[in-house]
Every structure is written in C-alpha cells, then in structure tokens.
Chains A and B, each alone.
Chain A
Amino acid sequence: MTRPVYPFAAIVGQEDMKRAMLIAAVDQGIGGVLVFGDRGTGKSTTVRALAALLPPMKVMQGCRYQCDPASPDAWCADCRSAGKGKAVTAPVPVVDLPLGATEDRIVGALDLERALAGAKVFEPGLLARANRGFLYIDEVNLLEDHLVDLLLDVAASGENVVEREGLSIRHPARFVLIGSGNPEEGELRPQLIDRFGLSVEVRTPTDLPTRIEVIRRRDMFDRDPDGFAETWRRAQDKLRRQITAARTQLPAVTVSDAILERAARLCMALGTDGLRGELTLIRAARALAALGGDAAAADAHLQQVAPMVLSHRLRRNPLDEAVASTRVARAMEELFGA
C-alpha cells in the first residue's frame, strides 16, 4: 500500500529542519536528528519526504540487512559466509517505528509461521530493516522506557544481538535515528537526547504569506498528489543530485586550523561536556560545506550548524530564562563578533 509522499523540495520554510535532514543524508555518521516542536509543523511530513528524496544505494542481493557490497568488514554473517554476491540497487530504508510496536518486532524474533511448523528461522525486525538507512520514531518522548534502552544499546554498538530458542543472531544495525516529538507531551530522557547529533526546534510560521503558502501547497497536494509531484519533480531531482554530489565531495572538504580552534572555543564558551559536541560540530560543518559545493568548511558553515549541534548539549539550568538556542547564538556572537 503506497501512500503519496509530499515532495521534500515543496516544504515551505522550516529551513533548520530541512538542513539537519540533508546533513544527515550526506553524512550518516552524524548521529541522528531530533526534531522537537509545535504541532502541525510538518515534522512527520519532512521525514517521509526525506525517504523519497534519498538517492538509492547499492546492496548485496538477497541480503536481509542491506549489506554494503563495498565494505565487507561490515557484512552480516550470511554475506560473510557467502563470500561474495551480486550488488543491486535498492532504496535507502526509512523505517517507521510505530507506537505500540512490540519488542519482538523491533529486534526480530523467530518466524512465527515456521515455528508453528517446528522450524527455527529468524525473522529480522525493524532494526534489521533500518540498517544503513534511517529509523524514524515519531513521539520519541512517549516511547516506553525498555524500548528506549534497547534502541540506545543498538545505536551505540551498531549491532543487534538476538538470543531466542537457542538461536543466536547478531547482525549489523547502523542507522540514523530520527526522533520527533512535542516537549509539552513529555520530556525526553537526557540519555536519549545525548545520542542525537543534531537537534532542531520547529515552530509554526507566524507570518501570513508563509502560512498561506503552506496551506496552498498542502491543498494542491491533497487534491492531486501526482500532479503536484510532477510540478516539483525537477526541484526534487536537483536536490537529489546535490546530495549525491555532496557525498562524493565530503571526504575532500578541508577544515582549517582556524576553524578547528573556533569550534573548540565555542564549545568551551558554552561549557558543553566532552568532545562529542566539538567533533559533531566539525562534521556537520563539513557536510554543510559539501552540500554547498564548497571545498573547505568556513565560519558561515560553523555558524549555521552550531545551534543544532550544541543547543541540546548545554547543561540545563532550569531557571535560566534564556532558551538554549539563544545561549548558543550569544556565544557565537561573542566569538565571531557578528
């Protein structure tokens, strides 16, 4: 059952959210994206749109974990034992983890149908399906605690281990975690927030022309999804080519010592814990430079990614009136003198 998908290129405004998604598409190692904010800002629409935008990837034919033909080190047991296989093109998986999903479907379990007949066959779960792609959890703040623990575990190790009925399966599960939610409906556990490389806050647009444009496009899409997709096909294709080009360009993007120093000083000024913030800051700046076709990461890139990399890593002072993103902006202003 295919649902028509709203084109990514047609999303009005929400530049931060779109930028974060594109950065994650260019560098999947960025560590996931957390999208928090108002109702009705198109969080889910954007994630679904991303799925349709991503350029396809090469996978081992018949592999249930979409192993990458180019990196045998990360192959699953099946691909390893086969030694080699045919590479085929497949879409990048963007897997929904729906609320109410049970553990057996997330990590995988024995195939029920065959088990009833007395055979032990592993049926991969959502984590397997998301390997090398994206795992999307809407309302991530409402996910049950034991499932959160499980996800954190797998996200950290990049591997899913299943022990059941004497069957012991481990398979690669590297995915970009995308979480969305509304903070009014429940706060997110700090451990989970830390796992996200980027976090963006989305707000309902308040200016009338933007609002009119959102409704106008949504209405056109609702009434004629195919026609609407056709209208935006060229813009979509262009964006897709941009991602492909950025991925090619990414390894060659250079970062000067001056930029490294600025990133370090920004993190110090904000008192973020550990090195992760700094590393992600550089990584995101490089990905953004690659998206723009630039050969080197510059101040401008750093400035654009700093709020989404750092605002969720600040130590929280519950009574500090300043929103985290404002604190980041302030620190940047002091540093860059902008």
Chain B
Amino acid sequence: MSGAAAWADALQALALFAADPAALGGIALRAGAGPVRDSFLRRMRQSLPHGTPVRHLPLHIGDDRLLGGLDLPATLRAGKPVAQPGLLTEADGGVVVLAMAERVDAALAVRLRAALDDGVILLQRDGLSRVEPSRFGIVALDEGCEPEEHPPDALLDRLAFHLDLTRVSLRDMAEPPDRLATDTATIQPDHAIETLCHVAATLGIPSLRAPMLALRAARAAAAQAGRKDIAEADLTIAARLVLAPRARQIPAPPEAEDSPPPPPPEEPPADDPQPQPEQTQSDQTGPDQTLPDQPLSDVVLEAARAALPLDLLARLMQAESGRGQARSPGRAGQIQMSLKRGRPVGIRQGEPRNGARLHLLETLKAAAPWQALRQRADRFEVRREDFRIIRFRQRLGTTTVFAVDASGSAAMHRLAEAKGAVELLLADCYVRRDQVALIAFRGQDAALLLPPTGSLLRAKRSLAALPGGGATPLAAGIEAAGRLADSVRRAGRTPVIAVLTDARANVARLNGARDAGGAAAGRPAAEADALEAARAIGRSGIAALLVDTSPRPNPFAHRLAEAMRARYVPLPYAEAGALSRAVRAASAA
C-alpha cells in the first residue's frame, strides 16, 4: 500500500470514527511524531462536532486523576464529600488521545479497557461509590520502532482501526479523491455478518471483536453515505479498514493459480493453550465452506487483500512475531512493585516500616477529613490508619535472551543438544521466575521466535518447533539478540544474552555491501561482521554467555565470546549443572 493510499485510508477511518468515537473504540495510529501525525490529529479535532471533549492522557497518570476521587480542598470547604471527576469521565462523549501507547502498561490498559467495554467508570475510591458515564473513543499514538513494540493487545483488540502512517510523506497528503460508492445494493444484515465473519476467518483473525467492529464500521459507512442499510461498498470499506490490518494469514487468491503462496506455518495462537488442529483452520477457509453467496465474500476479501500490510508476508515468514500477532510482549503484568526503591508509581495505605517510606503530604491529606471527628482543637491529629506510603516500581527481574543457531552446520553438529541445553536453562529460569525470549538464526536472517515471556511452556514449544538447516547468519543473530536485550533493558529489566552457536559464520549482514560469492568467499566477511556485532554487545555492558556447540571447541567462537565480553562455555564440556551455573554467573555479573 502506498503512502497516499495509507493516508486516504486514514482519512476515511477518521471520518467513520468521528461520527461516533465510542462505538468504534478508536484508532491505533502507528507513526512517529511529526507533521503527518500532527496533521492527522488536527483533522481529527476538526471533524469532531464542536465542543466534543478531547483529552490527552499522559502515560503515568494516577488512578485519582484517571478515574476520579475526592476533591479534598472542596470537601473540607463544603463540609461534605465533593468528588473530582477523572480524565475518563471528562472525556465522556469524546476522545482520549493516548501518547506513547506502545509503552502503556497492563494496569492502565485494563482500566481503559474496562471503560471502553462498560461505557461507565465504576468508582470505588476515597469513600466515594458511584457510577460515572464514560463513553469515549481512543486515539492511541504508537511510536514503536520494533515490531514487538506496540500497544497492549487487550487495547488494540478493541480499537476498530489500526493505521500505519510511518510510510506516509508530506507529498502523499494531498486531498484524496472521494471514494464513491459504486455498488449500493442493499445487503441483508445477516448476510453482511456472515460475509464479514467469513472474511475475518480467511484472514486468520481469531478475535471475535474484529468482525463485530467491522460490522459497526460498515454501518457507520452506510450512515455516512446516507443509506439506512449496509451495501456492498460499506462492507469493502470495513474489510479494508478493520479486517486487513489484523490479518494473520494471506488468503489464497480467488482463482487457483499455478503457485499459490504457501500457507504460513500453522502455529497455534499463543493464548490458545491447546494446539488448534490444522483441520479446523482449513475447514473454515477451504473451498468446501459453502456460504449462501460466495461472490460477495470474494469481493469483500479482495478489498481486504488490497489493503494487507506490505510487510505481512515478511512478518509471517519470520515465524510468529510482532504486531498483529497474538503474542503479547510478555512484559505486561510482570511489573515489580517495591516499597523501597525504583520509580515512584503510587501511594497506598500502610505503615512506614521495613523500609517503606512515608508520604507526608498524602498522610496529612488522609487525616484531614477526620479532624472534626477526632475533636482535638489544639492540634492536627494523625493516626496510624492515615499513614500513606510510597510504592515504587522496581528495576528487577531478569530476561534471558536466547539466540540459537539453527543453521545446517549447527544442526548437523548438535542442534538437538543445544535445544536440550536451552531447556535446562529454561527450567533454571523458571525457578528464578525469569523471563525468556528466543531468537533463532538460520538461512539469511534472524527471527524472533518468542518475545520476552514468563511462560516457559511457550518457550519450550517454540524451541521444539525450531527447524534446522541453511546458512549461518551469525552477525544477524547476535545483532538481533543485542537489539532485543537493549529494549529489555529500557523496559526496566536486566537482560542476559545466551548465544548458542558453532560459530561457523558464512552469511554477512544483509546491509553490508558485499557480493554474494558463495559461502566460502563469504566467510571472512561474515566473521568480521559477527565480531563487530559481538563487540557492540561487549560495549553495551550487557551480560552474555556464549555456548560453543561445535564438536571440538572452535577458536573463532572463543574470540567471539571475548569480543562480546561473554562467558565462554564449550558444549562438549557442558553438562546441565555447569551450564546453569554459567548462566547464573553471567546474570550475577
């Protein structure tokens, strides 16, 4: 999809959204800060009816500001409880703009989700018990750079439109021509629902909210065109704007061509603990699935296909990872609260013992309303139950990034043993409640098989499914591990890199301008690139471990480990205990 087409889609989505923000949940807008995004936001304000509230939601907002609470000065003045509305209540009937949505944590995500689902805020705070209207749509500004950096899935699932404006340039932003509805024949609601469900299934979208939101978008499109009932044109708009960006598989072309693209490897969605038999999937999408009117589905599917993200194929090839996939980065929910150190994130009732720090102002605020009751005219009385302490979010927890060489040479040598070694390390990580991530490199590039997660079962599964074979893009593998470790560190956890390889690098980095002169000629270049990537990790100070999986210790692997400042463990000598000790030593370093 070209930049101009993306911009045209964005404007169309905006028009549907502005008519009733809450009904469509909102827009996830992937774009860096800049004129394109500014222009989009300006247009959003312009297209909303005058007086519609638009509230900007800062990332680290507290519950009292988000949901509402007691207005203490007003309460004391009035002598009776006065509530202070939260930002989500203020946004009722309007739009909440969520900056840096890719960094929203689980706690904020579920609060937004609850309000989106219920249309009200259930407030049970500070002695207040009330239900406040809170119907709003969200514009989530996603500035993520890496594919695995994106707003929480729980939120994305509820926003009808996922727009990607990263490729839109100023030149693309000319006023797009009006897309005129060509076919306005009315379609029965049931038929429309069937069509959207069918198209969603064909695109491999598991969530049921997707076809639901698509249906609402189609209704909005019909209303906008002044029609009471849904027409074919509305369905194609809905499929293009709501379903296509969520696609997880590439539908087979309508006519059987000579070489249809191979279906992506059928891996069960992560949130589905029981592997979904492949049978079901092909049943849904197979040609024997008879619907009352196949042609309509085809037309709508075609519309969605035209809008499939450019990099979908690449993403699917890179196994399951990144945006649009069900995998959540796993960092959510793993936040460590501490009473002693870290970044302050809130206040709670409690005693300043065991190193917890008293928050004086909050304590006095808590005591203030009760002074009349305590009847001490001579002094302000603070009691034990008023004590408020500060909570911190701690930089704690380790994430071990495994980079596993799955190339032909490694496979021949001992991929199975390497897998076994990783499994041992996984068990060790489980004991320490560590997170793990898994990167595999083979062929031309490295792929993130598993973003950081606390689920060992998932890690084990992706490891078991790892095929071997192909060349050894060692530099790409080390680089990918370094990048991921860096983002782990930025998220506040401690990364440890464990590279398992036989260090027979024969693929240079893709961006290196070298001629492809076969594996033998490529080796020196590949080794130089690998060393350079290793040195970058060495400089970053991230703890690392290199497990040499060659049959005999490989001198180059040793050099690599030195460049990486990694602990070097030759696998032939490594038994379970030694490996586990090595990782622990690396993370303690």
Chain A residues with CB under 8 Å of chain B are 1, 3, 37-41, 44, 96-106, 109-113, 115-120, 123, 125-126, 138-139, 141-142, 144-146, 164-165, 182-187, 201, 203-208, 211-212, 214-216, 218-219, 318-319, 321, 323, 325-326
Check if A185 sits within 8 Å of B328, measured CB to CB. yes
Q: In whole angstroms, what is the CA distance A7 to B385 when docked?
A: 43
> Cβ of B423 < 8 Å from any Cβ of A?
yes
Check if A98 sits within 8 Å of B123, measured CB to CB. yes
CB-CB under 8 A for A115 and B208, given A212-B197, A219-B189: no
Contact with A along B108-127 (1 / 0, CB 8 A): 01110010011111111111
B271, B283, B430, B455: the one contacting A39 at CB < 8 Å is B271
Check if B456 sits within 8 Å of A319, measured CB to CB. yes
Residues from chain A with Cβ under 8 Å of B198 in the complex = 208
Q: In whole angstroms, what is the CA distance A182 to B110 when docked?
A: 11
Check if A215 sits within 8 Å of B215, measured CB to CB. yes
Instruction: Give the segment of B34-42, B365-373, B540-548 that binds chain A.
Output: B365-373
Residues from chain A with Cβ under 8 Å of B270 in the complex = 184
CB-CB under 8 A for A212 and B333, given A99-B110, A101-B125, A113-B81: no
Check if B133 sits within 8 Å of A1, measured CB to CB. yes
Check if B348 sits within 8 Å of A98, measured CB to CB. no
CB distance from A250 to the nearest CB of B (A): 33
A-B contact count (CB 8 A): 200
B67, B208, B283, B375: the one contacting A211 at CB < 8 Å is B208
Check if A102 sits within 8 Å of B125, measured CB to CB. yes
B118, B193, B207, B369: the one contacting A40 at CB < 8 Å is B207
Residues from chain B with Cβ under 8 Å of A212 in the complex = 193-194, 197
CB distance from B175 to the nearest CB of A (A): 34
CB-CB under 8 A for A38 and B271, given A184-B330, A208-B197, A321-B457: yes
CB-CB under 8 A for A214 and B208, given A103-B349, A142-B106: yes
Check if B456 sits within 8 Å of A139, measured CB to CB. no
Residues from chain A with Cβ under 8 Å of B355 in the complex = none
B372, B375, B426: the one contacting A116 at CB < 8 Å is B372
B111, B207, B208: the one contacting A100 at CB < 8 Å is B111
Residue of A nearest to B86 (CB): A100
Q: In whole angstroms, what is the CA distance A303 to B245 when docked?
A: 42
Residues from chain B with Cβ under 8 Å of A119 in the complex = 373
Residues from chain B with Cβ under 8 Å of A98 in the complex = 114, 121-124
CB distance from A109 to the nearest CB of B (A): 6
Residues from chain A with Cβ under 8 Å of B197 in the complex = 208, 211-212, 215
CB-CB under 8 A for A219 and B284, given A99-B114, A100-B67, A100-B111: no
CB distance from A316 to the nearest CB of B (A): 10
Q: In whole angstroms, what is the CA distance A138 to B122 when docked?
A: 12
> Cβ of B312 < 8 Å from any Cβ of A?
no
Q: In whole angstroms, what is the CA distance A112 to B122 when docked?
A: 19
A123, A126, A215: the one contacting B211 at CB < 8 Å is A215
A38, A112, A138, A145: the one contacting B272 at CB < 8 Å is A38
A3, A37, A323: the one contacting B119 at CB < 8 Å is A3
CB distance from A333 to the nearest CB of B (A): 16
> Cβ of B164 < 8 Å from any Cβ of A?
no
Q: A105-B126, A112-B127, A185-B109 are in contact. List 16 more A-B contacts (CB 8 A).
A: A1-B133, A38-B207, A40-B157, A40-B209, A97-B124, A100-B124, A101-B124, A105-B127, A117-B79, A118-B373, A120-B373, A182-B154, A207-B284, A212-B194, A219-B212, A318-B456
Check if A112 sits within 8 Å of B369, measured CB to CB. yes
Q: In whole angstroms, what is the CA distance A201 to B283 when docked?
A: 24
Check if B114 sits within 8 Å of A138, measured CB to CB. yes
Residues from chain A with Cβ under 8 Å of B190 in the complex = 216
Check if A96 sits within 8 Å of B122, measured CB to CB. yes
Residues from chain B with Cβ under 8 Å of A142 in the complex = 106-107, 110, 333
Q: Can you give 19 A-B contacts (C-beta < 8 A)?
A: A1-B131, A40-B207, A99-B107, A111-B127, A112-B70, A184-B270, A184-B332, A185-B154, A185-B332, A204-B207, A206-B206, A206-B284, A215-B208, A215-B211, A216-B193, A219-B189, A219-B193, A219-B212, A318-B430
CB distance from B229 to the nearest CB of A (A): 13
Instruction: Give the segment of B45-53, B273-281, B398-406 that binds chain A.
Output: B273-281
A102, A106, A126: the one contacting B126 at CB < 8 Å is A102
Of residues 401 to 429 in B, which have CB atoms within 8 Å of A's CB atoms?
Answer: 423, 426-427
Residues from chain A with Cβ under 8 Å of B60 in the complex = none
Residues from chain A with Cβ under 8 Å of B206 in the complex = 38, 204, 206
Check if A184 sits within 8 Å of B124, measured CB to CB. no
Residue of B nearest to A186 (CB): B333
Check if B348 sits within 8 Å of A146, measured CB to CB. yes
Residue of A nearest to B370 (CB): A115
Q: In whole angstroms, what is the CA distance A63 to B208 when docked?
A: 43
Chain B residues with CB under 8 Å of chain A are 63, 66-67, 70, 75-76, 79-81, 106-107, 109-111, 114, 117-129, 131, 133, 152-154, 157, 189-190, 193-194, 196-198, 200-201, 206-209, 211-212, 215, 270-274, 276, 280-281, 283-284, 289, 328, 330, 332-334, 337, 348-350, 369-370, 372-375, 383, 385, 423, 426-427, 430, 454-457, 460-461
Q: In whole angstroms, what is the CA distance A113 to B221 when docked?
A: 50
CB distance from B322 to the nearest CB of A (A): 15
Check if B333 sits within 8 Å of A185, measured CB to CB. yes
Check if B284 sits within 8 Å of A319, measured CB to CB. no
CB distance from A326 to the nearest CB of B (A): 7
Most buried by A among B193, B212, B270: B193
B75, B80, B273, B289: the one contacting A208 at CB < 8 Å is B289
Q: In whole angstroms, what is the CA distance A293 to B353 when docked?
A: 57
Residues from chain B with Cβ under 8 Å of A116 in the complex = 75-76, 79-81, 369, 372
Residues from chain B with Cβ under 8 Å of A120 in the complex = 373
A145, A182, A215: the one contacting B193 at CB < 8 Å is A215
CB distance from B430 to the nearest CB of A (A): 4
Check if B454 sits within 8 Å of A187, measured CB to CB. yes
CB-CB under 8 A for A104 and B273, given A112-B369, A321-B461: no
Residue of A nearest to B202 (CB): A208
Residues from chain A with Cβ under 8 Å of B272 in the complex = 38, 203-204
Q: In whole angstroms, what is the CA distance A196 to B293 when docked?
A: 47
Check if B274 sits within 8 Å of A102, measured CB to CB. no
Q: In whole angstroms, what is the CA distance A52 to B416 when docked?
A: 56
Q: In whole angstroms, what is the CA distance A184 to B456 when docked?
A: 12
Check if A206 sits within 8 Å of B207, measured CB to CB. no
Check if A211 sits within 8 Å of B211, measured CB to CB. yes
Residues from chain B with Cβ under 8 Å of A101 in the complex = 124-125
Q: In whole angstroms, what is the CA distance A92 to B295 when docked?
A: 51
Residues from chain A with Cβ under 8 Å of B152 in the complex = 185
Residues from chain A with Cβ under 8 Å of B120 in the complex = 1, 3
Check if B63 sits within 8 Å of A100, measured CB to CB. yes
Residue of A nearest to B192 (CB): A219
Residues from chain B with Cβ under 8 Å of A115 in the complex = 369-370, 372-373
Residues from chain B with Cβ under 8 Å of A117 in the complex = 79, 372
Residues from chain B with Cβ under 8 Å of A126 in the complex = 124
CB distance from B454 to the nearest CB of A (A): 7
Check if A185 sits within 8 Å of B117, measured CB to CB. no
